[in-house]
Structure 1
Amino acid sequence: MNPRTAKLRALLAAGGPGIVPGATDCFTAKLIEQAGFPAVYVTGGGTANTYLGGPDIGLITLNELASQVERISDAVSVPVIADCDTGFGGVANVKRTIKLYERIGAAGLHIEDQVFPKRCGHFEGKSVAPVEEMLYRLQAALDARTDPNFVIIARTDARGPEGLESALARAHAYREIGADMVFVEAPNSLEELQRISKEFKGTPLVANMIERSRTPLVPEKELLAMGFNVILYANAALYLGSFAIRQGLEVLRKEGTTESMLDRMTSFQERQKLVGLEKLDAAERDLVARVDARRKK
């Protein structure tokens, strides 16, 4: 069993983990862990943006997203919560997805009720599957789970195409079939977040803070007090990074050197420390010394 599934369960039982920033690569995931966040989120939309250079419109495949989840899970020691879109097919595909995500080290995932091809939950033009189809997906996920601590989050994207009442009704049905957590995507106001909180009092909840989009940015303390255990900042690191990169590249093109930006850049030494060069070098030296000592006996 993956010990990080139990860790995630413990964080949820304690009312957290609170803010969980999203990563699309191992380097960013390590920065998130280094900053002290108790978990990392692997964003499907962000992965499509960085891995394919495309939008979040269902382009990413199971193997492409799972490969990112696996590498990121291996790179950090904290629990990893992963996006698995609609489960990548019918019930047999959902079962395969759950088994794969468990095997590669994720501590939990969310699966949504959109039709394929899905779209980012904050886009226009989304369509949701019939409630029964999502219930089949969830039952398949629950049946495929082998680690009882592996967290299955039911996400509904019905707020946009069908309205809040439909989204709440769907979320209740998903919770009743056995989903561990409820994720009502893209509420449009603080009042809607409060309504979700009241509807699901005592149920672990997910809130997704997407900057300059549909859902207002609400401070962590307020969301935790409302019962939102997991507060995703799915693409904050991507936005921060791309903003800094764009500015830095403009300076480099204009000035022909990075000299004026050194105080705003991670140093060569900091970079090697983050990726564990010293630790790996020390392990290699120890291994060589042990083998050489054995040969001399």
Structure 2
Amino acid sequence: MADSTPISPGRRLRDAWAHGPIAIPGVFNPLVAKMAERLGFHAVYLSGGALSAGNGVPDIGLLALTEFTQAAQLTAQATTLPLLCDADTGFGEALNVERTVRMFESAGVAGIHLEDQEMPKRCGHLSGKSVVSAEVMVAKIRAAVAAKKDKDFVVLARTDAKGVHGFDDAVTRAKMYLDAGADGIFPEAMESREEFERFAKAVPGATLLANMTEFGKSPNIDVKALGAMGYRLILFPLTAFRAAMKTAEDTLRDLMTNGVQTASIPNMQTRAELYDVLGYTGYEERDRAYFGG
């Protein structure tokens, strides 16, 4: 008899990067996650930066764990794609990280990444960061691994040490984090193509994530090139968010200036296109069926 056990989100993410490299777009609401799935992406990402900005606050650790996991649950329910989530610094110390993992796993996500910054944290591509000791981060990783119920739930370790203590410290920390049980490493704010390549060579065999955010310290490198270096997960955390926010601003400015939205209509998603993404017809058909129509 065939095994009918559902494949967990974590297993689906691992299978995706095993055939990678994979581009993982940031999706700032569940509808965008649906769009990403229809377009053929293999995984999606919930960015703490986008979540914070969407709530009108900067990415400095102001939102609570429950706000993150509520957004994660709604997003995970909207798509069959595995969802990777930003879990900031784990929302506390090692024992807090246990709860963080359990709540994200219960929300239906595939995995999280934890970072080694001190609070108050800040965007990884800004100056003035500070990091906890490697030993403190190792304890958090151990707690995260111990807390997960599904062995395939993904725990990635992000290190911001390169911008604080230098490249060599980032490599040393990466090896310590892998030894502690991390499934992969996210080296934040590499400043050149050569640094990305050096890091991959310095941590051979590790599952690596490259962050291709815009307007930061890292150059924008394509998925194929990063894959050739050894990176399996290529993150585009705010790409769609930034484009959407710029379009929203331009649309509002035009409306304010002209008192009518007609000039913006060619750039809009139509009602039919929206309903198609939402599967609106299926909802109507099921509703009629429940009433015997």
Q: Indicate conservation of the 8 Å contact 1:2/1:105, yes or no.
A: no
Measured in 2, the distance between the counterparts of 1:251 and 1:100 equals: 42
- How far off is 1:31 after superposition? 2.1
Q: Indicate conservation of the 8 Å contact 1:5/1:108, yes or no.
A: yes
Whichever residue aligns with residue 112 of structure 1, its letter is: E
Q: Indicate conservation of the 8 Å contact 1:62/1:97, yes or no.
A: yes
Q: Indicate conservation of the 8 Å contact 2:45/2:85, yes or no.
A: yes
Is residue 31 from structure 1 mapped to residue 35 from structure 2 by the alignment?
yes
- How far off is 1:119 after superposition? 1.0
Aligned to 2:26, the other structure's residue is in SS state strand
Q: Please report the TM-score for the alignment, with normalisation by the length of structure 2.
A: 0.95
- How far off is 1:72 after superposition? 0.4
Measured in 1, the distance between the counterparts of 2:199 and 2:291 equals: 58
User: Following TM superposition, where does structure 1 have runs of at least 4 consecutive aligned residues deviating by more than 4 angstroms?
Assistant: none
Q: Pick the aligned partner of 2:237 from 222, 230, 234.
A: 234
Is residue 131 from structure 1 mapped to residue 134 from structure 2 by the alignment?
yes
- How far off is 1:41 after superposition? 0.2
Is residue 251 from structure 1 mapped to residue 248 from structure 2 by the alignment?
no
Q: CA RMSD in A?
A: 1.3
Deviation per residue, 1:20-78 (Å, 9 max, x gap): 01122112222222222111100011100002x11111111101111111110011110
- How far off is 1:255 after superposition? 2.2
- How far off is 1:254 after superposition? 2.1
Deviation per residue, 1:123-143 (Å, 9 max, x gap): 111110011100100000010
- Give the number of equivalent residue pairs: 288
Match of 1:47 in 2: 51
Is residue 147 from structure 1 mapped to residue 150 from structure 2 by the alignment?
yes
> Gapped runs of 5+ residues in structure 2?
1-5
Which is further off, 20-29 or 162-171?
A: 20-29
Q: Indicate conservation of the 8 Å contact 2:101/2:148, yes or no.
A: yes
Whichever residue aligns with residue 50 of structure 1, its letter is: G
Aligned to 1:19, the other structure's residue is in SS state strand
Measured in 1, the distance between the counterparts of 2:63 and 2:18 equals: 33
Whichever residue aligns with residue 46 of structure 1, its letter is: A
Aligned to 1:169, the other structure's residue is in SS state helix
Match of 2:216 in 1: 213
- How far off is 1:2 after superposition? 5.9
Measured in 2, the distance between the counterparts of 1:176 and 1:140 equals: 13
Q: Pick the aligned partner of 1:8 from 13, 18, 22.
A: 13
Q: Indicate conservation of the 8 Å contact 1:156/1:167, yes or no.
A: yes
> Gapped runs of 5+ residues in structure 1?
293-297
Whichever residue aligns with residue 4 of structure 1, its letter is: P
Is residue 197 from structure 1 mapped to residue 195 from structure 2 by the alignment?
no
Deviation per residue, 1:261-284 (Å, 9 max, x gap): 322110012112222221111111
Measured in 2, the distance between the counterparts of 1:15 and 1:200 equals: 18
Q: Indicate conservation of the 8 Å contact 2:8/2:152, yes or no.
A: no
Which is further off, 39-48 or 19-28?
A: 19-28
Measured in 1, the distance between the counterparts of 2:7 and 2:86 equals: 18
